[in-house]
Amino acid sequence: MIRTEAIKKFAAEAGFDLCGVASCRHFADNEARFRDWLARGYQSSLGYLERNLDKRFDPRRLVEGAETAVVCAVSYKNRFGEGYPDGCRTKIASYACTKDYHTTIRRMLGTLFDALRTEYPRLGGRLFCDTAPVLEKQLAVEAGLGWIGRQSLLVTPRYGSYVLLGELLLTDRADAYDPPFEGSRCGRCRNCIDSCPTGAIVAPRTIDTARCISCHTIEREPAAPIALHGWIFGCDECLSCCPYNRKAPMHSNPVFDPLFDPTALDADAWTAMSCGEFASCFGETPLMRSGLERIKRNVADEG
């Protein structure tokens, strides 16, 4: 049996701001809502979301023998998350101004996992960071970290939704599990719904990805084009308006310091950029996922 106190101690030493521990189980209610969401076609071009539903809603099917979910979160808020000047045509989601979080968080989770296996040599499990069908936001709620807001993101009381998540699924019980976060603290606030320039939040916790700017600028593009409203990679519109995000502190972990200033690059700079310059300046960032030509096309669409 793993000591929860040890898990949280090692998580803090690895650089995480929050850590919670939940028992693995089947999330039947989430599965029913997700299947209804798929039936409405809201996944649009994201066909991969239709696969592995049995594993997505039961972590025990994803990792054989999984008993415990360790959910870790780290704040990444930087000044670009507070909004861009009016008329800016080259806006980039604030998380993408840093090193690719997949690499960073996997390294942090690896440090945590290594520490646990040093103390518990027979411990098995697997680490995840947005690379498998893990129900990470609901697991975060189960682990007591926060609630899922109207924009469908995890919202934490201290850090808002400017957090990145990573998980360990472990093959042993913990000596104590955190109580799930009860209810929502959004109150009557509709800022995220009302601020989405394309109306992608069609109902609380319901996103139509065909209208989502992040989907159009990063993922496989939905069939019908939409106005990008100055965003060329991702979108922070439903984050920067949130009262919890406005009062959240800036990130403290230096690995999430921005690597570039997106406001220093106008449309002409992006259009003139060579592949070599792009790789040199942004090779460690999430922008590599879409690539320079996609970004140039996004810039041109906003011209």
Task: Supply the DSSP string of 132-148, one letter for each residue.
Answer: S---HHHHHHHTTS-EE
For residue 264, the enclosing domain spans 191-248+257-301
What pLDDT is stored for residue 302 in this prediction?
61
In terms of domains, do 27 and 117 share one? yes
User: Into how many domains does the chain fold?
Assistant: 2
Residues 6+ positions from 7 with CB-CB distance below 8 Å: 19, 21, 70, 112, 116, 174
Paired strand residues for 163: 75
Task: Answer yes or no: is 88 within a domain.
Answer: no
In terms of domains, do 109 and 230 share one? no
pTM equals 0.95
Paired strand residues for 192: none
Residue 242 near residue 186, CB atoms below 8 Å: no
Task: Answer yes or no: is 66 within a domain.
Answer: yes
Task: Supply the DSSP string of 251-292, one letter for each residue.
Answer: P--GGGS-SS-GGG--HHHHHH--HHHHHHHHTTSGGGGT-H
Compute the 3-state secondary structure of the chain and give helix, strand, coil in percent, each to the nearest 5.
40, 15, 45
Task: Answer yes or no: is 106 within a domain.
Answer: yes
In terms of domains, do 202 and 161 share one? no
- Phi and psi, residue 165, nearest 5°: -110, 150
- Phi and psi, residue 243, nearest 5°: -55, -35
Task: Answer yes or no: is 84 within a domain.
Answer: no
Query: Which residue numbers are catalytic?
Result: 130
In terms of domains, do 120 and 154 share one? yes
Task: Answer yes or no: is 135 within a domain.
Answer: yes
In terms of domains, do 116 and 223 share one? no
Task: Answer yes or no: is 90 within a domain.
Answer: no
Q: Which sign, positive or negative, has the C-alpha torsion 124, 127, 131, 137?
A: positive
Rounded Cα distance between 64 and 7, Å, is 21
Would you give per-residue pLDDT tens digits along the chain (303 residues)?
Answer: 999 999 999 999 999 999 999 999 999 999 999 999 999 999 999 999 999 999 999 999 999 999 999 999 999 999 999 999 988 999 999 999 999 999 999 999 999 999 999 999 999 999 999 889 999 999 999 999 999 999 999 999 999 999 999 999 999 999 999 999 999 999 999 999 999 999 999 999 999 999 999 999 999 888 899 999 999 999 999 999 999 999 999 999 999 999 999 999 999 999 999 999 999 999 999 999 999 999 999 999 765
Query: Which of 135, 170, 205 marks a domain boundary?
Result: 170
Task: Answer yes or no: is 92 within a domain.
Answer: no
